Amino acid sequence: MNFSGLRTHLLHVCSNAHMDYTHLGRTGLTVSKLCLGTMNFGPQTSEADSFAIMDHALSVGINFFDSANFYGGPGNAGLTEEIIGRWFAQGGGRREKTVIATKLYQPMTDWPNDGKLSALNIRRACDASLKRLQTDYIDIYQMHHIDRRTPWDEIWEAMEVLRSQGKIIYVGSSNFAGWHIAQAQEAARRRSFSGLSSEQSLYNLLARTIELEVLPAAQHYGVGVIPWSPLQSGLLGGIIRKQEAGSTGRSSDGRTNRWLEKLRPQIQAWEDFCARRDEDPADTALAWLLHQPGVTAPIIGPRTLEQLDGSLRALSISLDTEALDELDVLFPGPGGAAPEAYAW
């Protein structure tokens, strides 16, 4: 669909779309139960189409956007934040209505100290993101990965300075183990600092490892969980049906196809489950996450307005105990929380 088509679609979108909201973990921050992921903005989605998607997200009540300083594609790190910044700069309440989360950790260049979580990089990376985003504060500043070489006191002191300067409000993590969450929170507690408010983790029906320790740790400390890759690179998005129809999109890459060949009977059973319920597999996969305790909002990464509208259906899908039990048989998790999952 071209840009004019996207705008036409925006004008004709269903006006009664209903968004559900929740608090981010233990905080008082209210966020939509779907989080708009922006990783495609720039590499796969044009700036004009990205603007239309963000406008549409706000129009249907999605107020929670996620990005990272590294997003933008090979050789274009920072491009995604720049696109969001130019969208904010249009005004119209766009910045004020948006809870913007971004991340640091990945090296932006090959120069020393231009990545990870040293106090120096935290300061520089935050200032650079603020400039690209054309805003004076970041709502949720997230560590994209654990940095095992930097002491927690150094990290938290740097985050405290940013908060005291008004440059960030909340701090989040991504790809942390349960032990890392505990380390972070106990170190923050010693400093009388609030620590982590959120954790982004790989979580979907095919990837349930976080149920062992990350989810329990997050729930214990009141940290909101934000699942990424809810469709496991398209495997849970109706890939077999799409292949048969000759329309696979990004899910047709080599890695996804290799996974599909190993998991085809399981994925076929999943698509049959969704067909019996007359629901789209992608929407049902999102709905399953929304039924899991501790989950705040899965990250959706639409490349088109149609994909964004489709995701809204997940908010209305109810999975009863029988359906959830059937999915546990089809996609066995690790057995629950540790250590009960593997010990008496």
Q: Residue 248: what pLDDT?
A: 65
Give the number of C-alpha atoms closer than 13 A to the C-alpha of residue 107, restricted to the C-beta side.
Answer: 6
- The answer to whether residue 26 scores a pLDDT higher than 60 is yes
The C-alpha angle 95, 100, 103, rounded to 5 degrees, equals: 140
- The answer to whether residue 256 scores a pLDDT higher than 60 is yes
Q: Residue 3: what pLDDT?
A: 44
Q: How far apart are the C-alpha atoms of 207 and 230, rounded to whole Å?
A: 9
- The answer to whether residue 102 scores a pLDDT higher than 90 is yes
Q: Residue 312: what pLDDT?
A: 96
Looking at residue 223, the DSSP 8-state letter turns out to be P
Nearest Cα to Cα of residue 54 among 282, 313, 298, 303: 303
- The answer to whether residue 9 scores a pLDDT higher than 60 is no
> Does CATH place domain 3-234+280-325 in 3.20.20.100?
yes
- The answer to whether residue 16 scores a pLDDT higher than 50 is no
Q: How far apart are the C-alpha atoms of 124 and 121, rounded to whole Å?
A: 5
- The answer to whether residue 73 scores a pLDDT higher than 90 is no
Q: Rg (Cα) of the chain, in Å, rounded?
A: 20
Residue 127, token pair as written in the block: 């200032």
Catalytic annotation present for 71: yes
Q: 71, 105, 141, 170: which is the annotated catalytic residue?
A: 71
- The answer to whether residue 33 scores a pLDDT higher than 50 is yes
